[in-house]
Homo-oligomer: A and B are copies of this chain.
């Protein structure tokens, strides 16, 4: 027998505690029709328990997957908890996937029921006939939809169900959520979060970067994207108010909701906060007086934006870093106590990084042959990470060996780690330029180029080179008059000489991905033989 009880790490224990201790805490939700639902932990619990019984009635067995296709709202919240508490899997489908990807993930996860927000039915309905395992279609609102024949309304589904009693004592390694990450090539790859991994992500992140019971948390990051970075679990565990924004993610909609509900903390990608910044600049009467911090992640956070929110709004923009494969928050750019009195510029040097690993996780950077590199802020290599809430494999996917090695996750990010412990992302592993056995950071070169006043946009890629394997070439959109020689001279003062691009190509536009990032793959393909003479 174990010395201590072998009691499992189950989300239901955190949930039951929260409902018991904070029954009157509010949850506010913007619905698909823009109406506002105002409810409490206790009222929501009654619906969660009815939904759990409905899963039984629908014949969804333990371990079975339930698909969701929905915004951040109260019914999605209920689905999160009713699946986790009963040992089912919540498969949150990214509504921005391509149609064939949506079909792929629903079939791959073997979703037995599909829960769809009313205003997303037009996206889902054309795909319904291709879903091989979905037996039940549920519209997340008071009414079924003619567009999805045979669908039932969520509110009808749970109306007459009994409230589920004690939650089962599950194995803590049971999967409770499936998140698919949309790579640029091939099918999306699934990660199966477990009770244990999400539980540890929840309590450890709360210990590291606290949410308080007095907070009102508004996750802008979608619940279909890596569990909304865990905020539904963290907020409930801590007894905080939750405000779900539904489909209106416009700057105006968010600023109004922040103000009306007195939101104190929110989380989202940089473009969200850039939009909010522009809105506030254009509307000087608006302000965000109740917000204390934004967590910001998903892509690099502009230093100027962090500075602007601090100086004009008193809001700390805190960068978080993670991936679908890290459940997802793996590092947070918090200042250490002795840095709180530092000049802003020195603080920004830390705040603009990907942050300090969350306690309990281990990180290392390695070179091309897997040798560990020092944490000296100079050496850069691929970031590897391991810990209790890091993926160990892709879900039923033979691509697992590409990303996991000796118990570590290969993140695909090339990073420096400073002696102080801050991770600074230098490049994506696939974009880093391999020149004569050394690595050149395409991101560093881009940032230096874009600092030039006559450069509107710049991307740097490694192109095949007969002698050096790859050499950097810059692609630049001008916003003023500038020559190749002037840009090279600009870079010479800022980077090592062997980093200087072999060519600068002036273009009218740089190809972009669906999410607005430079599409370096297209650039590389288009100019592949430029240096091969």
Contacts and interface: CB of A to CB of B under 8 A. Distances in A.
Interface of A: 1-9, 13-14, 16-18, 20-22, 24, 173, 175, 191-194, 196-197, 199-200, 203-204, 206-207, 210, 212-214, 237-239, 327, 336-338, 356-357, 359-362, 386-393, 395, 407, 409, 420-421
Given A18-B359, A360-B203, A392 B336 contact: no
Nearest to A404: B5
Q: Which 10 A-B pairs have the closest CB atoms?
A: A206-B207, A3-B192, A4-B197, A5-B392, A17-B359, A21-B421, A214-B337, A207-B207, A203-B207, A7-B388
B387 A21 contact: no
B193 A4 contact: yes
Given A17-B359, A203-B207, A336 B239 contact: yes
A2 B394 CA distance: 10
A40 to B, nearest CB: 12
The quantity of this chain's copies bound in the complex is 2
Given A207-B238, A336-B239, A393 B3 contact: yes
A199 to B, nearest CB: 8
Nearest to A210: B210
Given A5-B392, A9-B200, A203-B207, 18 more contacts: A1-B392, A2-B194, A2-B393, A3-B192, A3-B391, A3-B395, A4-B193, A4-B194, A4-B196, A4-B389, A5-B386, A5-B387, A5-B390, A7-B390, A13-B359, A199-B360, A207-B207, A239-B336
Contacts of A4: 173, 192-194, 196-197, 327, 388-392
A174 to B, nearest CB: 9
B393 A1 contact: yes
Nearest to A396: B3
A214 B5 CA distance: 34
Contacts of A388: 4-5, 7-9
A212 B197 CA distance: 24
Contacts of A214: 337
Contact of A6 (B192, B199, B392): B392
By CB atoms of chain B within 10 A, which of A22, A212, A388 has the most? A388
Nearest to A385: B5
B386 A237 contact: no
A90 to B, nearest CB: 14
A420 B407 CA distance: 44
A41 to B, nearest CB: 12
A192 B214 CA distance: 37
By CB atoms of chain B within 10 A, which of A7, A22, A203 has the most? A7
B392 A356 contact: no
A327 B293 CA distance: 34
Contacts of A391: 3-5
A24 B337 CA distance: 11
A300 to B, nearest CB: 22
Nearest to A192: B3
Contacts of A175: 3
Nearest to A196: B4
By CB atoms of chain B within 10 A, which of A206, A336, A338, A360 has the most? A360
By CB atoms of chain B within 10 A, which of A9, A24, A210, A389 has the most? A9
A238 B206 CA distance: 11
A19 to B, nearest CB: 10
A395 B203 CA distance: 29
Nearest to A421: B21
A357 B193 contact: no
B197 A17 contact: no
B21 A356 contact: yes
Contacts of A386: 5, 7
Contacts of A21: 336, 356, 420-421
Contacts of A327: 4
Nearest to A213: B337
A245 to B, nearest CB: 23
A85 to B, nearest CB: 14
A3 B191 contact: yes
Contacts of A395: 3
Nearest to A169: B407
